[in-house]
Amino acid sequence: EVQLVESGGGLVQAGGSLRLSCAVSGFTFDDYAIGWFRQAPWKTREGVSCFWTTNSSTWYADSVKGRFTISSDNAKKTIDLQMNSLKPEDTGVYYCAGVAPHFSTNPLASYEYDSWGQGTQVTVSS
């Protein structure tokens, strides 16, 4: 059974940084994609970033390019999201999601993923 557990959320002032981690377990093979999504109150879930383990390819939403970096920590078996220059509009519950061996067409679409974590709250104050 695939399990994804997020950590690292919290409250930060605008311009600050947070690092989220998604602990990954249960995939049969080492080829999978992990996406980070977020959902603000009264808004639909938004794809933020994706990491594909097969070739370490990454994808980012335009709203976070240049500020967020996704990476893999093989020793810890986590997919991390470093978030810098945070803005109030980055506030929301952040989820990681997984699919193996990879997504079909859109790495930032929630329908591509079949395993989800419980989420971690990120709040950016102005």
Retrieve residue 79's tokens.
């997919």
Q: Three-state SS for 107?
A: coil
Check: CB of residue 94 under 8 Å from CB of residue 20: yes
* 61-96 pLDDT tens trace: 999 999 999 999 999 999 999 999 999 999 999 999
Q: How far is the CA of 103 from the CAs of 11, 19, 35, 78, in angstroms? A: 32, 24, 10, 19
* 16-61 pLDDT tens trace: 999 999 999 999 888 999 999 999 988 999 999 999 999 999 999 9
Name the region of 118 (left: φ>0; alpha: ψ -120 to 50; beta: rest): alpha
Instruction: Tell me what pLDDT residue 29 has.
Output: 86
Instruction: Tell me what pLDDT residue 108 has.
Output: 98
